[in-house]
A and B are shown apart, each in its own frame.
Chain A
Amino acid sequence: MADINLHNVTKTFGDYRAVNDVSLNIADGEFVALLGPSGCGKTTLLRLLAGFEEPDGGVISLAGQAVADPAAKIMVAPEDRNLGIVFQSYALWPHMSVARNVGYPLEVRKLSRADRDKRIRDALAIVSLGDYADRSPTELSGGQRQRVALARCLVMEPRAVLLDEPLANLDVHLRETMQQAFLDFHRRTGATMVYVTHDQAEAMAMADRIAVMDRGHIRQMAAPETLYREPSDNMVAGFVGAGAVLPVGGFTMQGDGRCAVRIGNADVMARISIEASTHCRAYPARMVPSNDGAAVVDGQMQHQTSLGLCLRPEDVRVDMQGNLTGMVDDCVYLGGRFRLSVRLDGQHSVPVYADQRARIGEQISLSIRDGWVFSRQEAA
């Protein structure tokens, strides 16, 4: 097992920068998900790690040893990296039995027959497919095939396991079972795992940390709950979790990383990111005194610094005494509760979970318990 380090890695296809100056450190034994919309570069990043693609610049190291470094003309072939990989299409060889598929890495490494058989048995037992050793992969279901692929990684005791959207071909019910299988696998083996997915629920359920990618960059890398509560920019806030990002006109610092922001006709208490608060402090000239004497950021600021307020539906409640009013735009039953979309000031809507159905067009009052203010400007 090993840690993985990427330093300023870039990969271009023609004019297109699929992976753009990415630096990433994955600790030994960590489960990291690469999350992003399709075409964001996450699969390319995984293939760079595996060695199927050669970077144009930067350094990729496994356990401290450089495996790809164009500047030093180092490029270790995939077969010499000792990494396990699980593909979306399973990539089981149809002309070999399940046992031979699983044992192939050992066959290549010229292990003795007895040794091989024992390790194949152990690996198949871990993925609970002990009885299927002599079957052909074509006779197995999708979930079973994926477990065979996992066992094939396991036998070779890889330095890390790379997974490329391994659940994308499975149906919803099987996905949950397989997520559990991956988690069990991770706990039992302690393997470093890098998991590519476009499904945020999958990433949040499994990963220790999630790296959100967009257009070749890593936007934010953090634990799932941090990502959800404190997205660093607009893309992450919009991509991860249901919620809304509202533009913020002005705010008043309240200390302790909290502030009051004006939304529609009401003030809302929210947490604020350090970047957002320091960014505004850098422009004191634009802070103008308000009626009650607190410093309020001028309305003009909206266009220049682009602060955003990220609201999650569980932070917004329908409340007769609420100081925020809006009109119901949409009402969807989710089973057990309703999700309303409430239009605030003619332009922006917020999602709200409610216990009761609401009429479209109805005026309701809301109260907001929490929010997150961040700088919407994306890092260059």
Chain B
Amino acid sequence: MLAVGRWLSASGLQMGGNRFSDRLLPLLFVPVIIISVLPMIRLAVEGLFVHGTPSLDYLRDVAQSSQTWRATAHSLYTAGLGTVISLLIGGAFAFLVALTDIRAKAALVFCFMIPMMIPPQITALAWVQLTGPSSALLNAIGMAPAMGSPQPLYSAEGIALLLGIQHASIVFLTLRANLRLLPREQIEAARLAGARGGRLWWQVILPLTSPGLIAGTAMAFVTALGNFGIQAMLGIPGNYITLPTLIYRKLSSFGPSALGEVSVLAMLIGLIAVVGVIIHHRLLSKRDYRLMGVVGRPLDIRLGNRRLVIEIVLWAVLVAILVVPLMALVATSLVPAFGVRLSLDNFSFDAFYQVLFVQPATIRAFHNSLLLAVGAAIVLVGVCLPLAYVIVRRPTRLTRVINLLVEIPYALPGVVLAIACILLFIRIPVLNISLYGTLAIIFVAYLARFLIIALRPVMNSFLQLDPALEEAAQACGAGVGRRLRDILLPLAAPAAAAGALLVFLTAFNELTVSALLWSAGNETLGVLIFNLDDSGDSVMASAVAVMVVGVVVALMTGFQLASRHLPKGVIPWQT
């Protein structure tokens, strides 16, 4: 054996073709486990142990508290109602865009996706600035409700409405992906068989698209459940407490001493989310509608003379859910002093000047968020390139497990991950240092949560890459290092860049995780907007929000323009 080995190395021959990726595997596996699995284990331990011994005390405390069940009911009600609203708006848009001959589809889709990319706390802020008695926009045009009348959005239905609008694009995306795979022949066959109008919709199109509808519904529900921004911005002033806000309140009033109880609550949210996902998989497994036929030819049901009316309605809905709230946001940010009625003569950019150059807290927050987002993007892309390569090119049981594990921190509601990170990093066992109260803990949590965002585009790109491209290089004599450098990296670079930008975009605006992990001096932009609004400074909050929306729209436009050069599936709104 030794002799053979020596002969092999002497003659420059190699055993096996993939030693490199075999060596790489544990190097990647360990960090992935640490950031995606360990925190969750730590969370379970915290909830189920008291002072190191297994105990159900926390569980009992939480279960006996009427607060818990009220918050759970509130969470289920708002997320459920919100999902119904998402389903109605997103479903209607998806069917009309994918199946009919309406015009300007690309513009419609792009605008419809903006609400998804705008952080929820900004959506909430914009809508609060739109409605209610102190609305700068309504006051400017003299349509504001009387002073002292309640803000209508500070209610369960208000929360549900905004959750519904925020997540309508999720339903839209999954449904449209499904509709795109719907071969036009199947519908044409139904029409030739005599089905028309409603019968066609109910008996053919709807059943065939039910997998997309189910998947979209489940995703919208789970996301709505964990959406902290809207629930906090509307629920806390209105004293309508849901599970994420209950956790936030307990942690901010009692600090780390509440961790035991809070981790049980986090597990409760996690459990509801998991049940949602399981129901979704159950429903899907019973429907194996593999669609046969030529894919890719879009169906164009002629709307005839109703087309113009439908187009006007669609754009009107977009104006109502996107343009008007953002106008309200801009209007508030231009108010010269709080309470002053805005007009064309007195608007001022003072708030922008203040947040960008004067207020130390806002400057710091910009700085922190920029640092976190850029850092996370760079680190994650650096990890994802080799990770995606190994997962795609070496599909073993281990890599399949990794592929699932990296989904967990993103699929579970953000508060769950945040609590888990506090628990794990408040005192790191061996090193005996604490990350709690530093920017580092937010950074680690971001790495865990957004790993999947960076990984998917790179994996897609490797999957779409013809293996022959790499094999041709191999036959030319290029070893694995050269192949990565000369062939794989240049070809995966657009996807990696897109992944990095998506991570940046998401991390730059993140609130849910940082709301629980921030400390004085370590605020993020999301937290800043939330705090400014909380302390009544809605003008400055709006100014920050307007700038963030500007960044989001600019980046999205950049993606749109670069879309031709990116592999399929990289841009979230172009499935």
Q: Which residues of A contact B (CB under 8 A)?
A: 50-52, 54, 72-85, 87-89, 91-95, 104-105, 108-109, 149, 152, 156
Contact = CB atoms under 8 A, between A and B. Distances in A.
B477 A72 contact: no
B8 A77 contact: no
B469 A93 contact: yes
17 contacts: A52-B474, A54-B17, A74-B13, A75-B14, A75-B17, A84-B475, A85-B471, A87-B471, A87-B472, A89-B466, A92-B472, A93-B490, A93-B491, A94-B491, A104-B486, A108-B476, A109-B477
A76 B13 contact: yes
Contact of B468 (A54, A81, A84, A89): A89
Interface string B442-479: 00000000000000000000000010110111111111
B10 to A, nearest CB: 13
Interface in B11-54: 12-17
Nearest to B8: A74
The number of chain B residues touching the other chain, given as a range, is 20 to 34
A85 B472 contact: yes
Contact of B477 (A74, A82, A87, A95): A82
Given A74-B4, A75-B15, A87-B468, 6 more contacts: A54-B16, A73-B15, A81-B475, A89-B468, A94-B491, A156-B476
Contacts, number: 88
B12 A80 contact: yes
Given A54-B16, A89-B466, A91-B466, A80 B477 contact: yes
Interface string B473-515: 1111111001000110011000000000000000000000000
Nearest to A155: B476
Most chain A beta carbons < 10 A, residue from B466, B472, B478, B490? B472
A105 B477 contact: yes
B4 A72 contact: yes
| A-side interface mostly | loop
Interface of B: 1, 4, 8, 12-17, 466, 468-469, 471-479, 482, 486-487, 490-491
A152 B472 contact: yes
Contact of A108 (B15, B466, B468, B477): B477
Nearest to B18: A77
Contacts of A91: 466, 468-469, 471-472
A88 to B, nearest CB: 8
Contacts of A85: 471-472, 475
Contact of A77 (B13, B486, B487): B13
Contacts of A80: 12-14, 477
Nearest to B1: A73
Nearest to B476: A105
A73 B479 contact: no
A54 B1 CA distance: 19
B475 A83 contact: yes
Contacts of A149: 472
B476 A104 contact: yes
Contact of B482 (A76, A87, A94, A108): A108
Contacts of B469: 91, 93
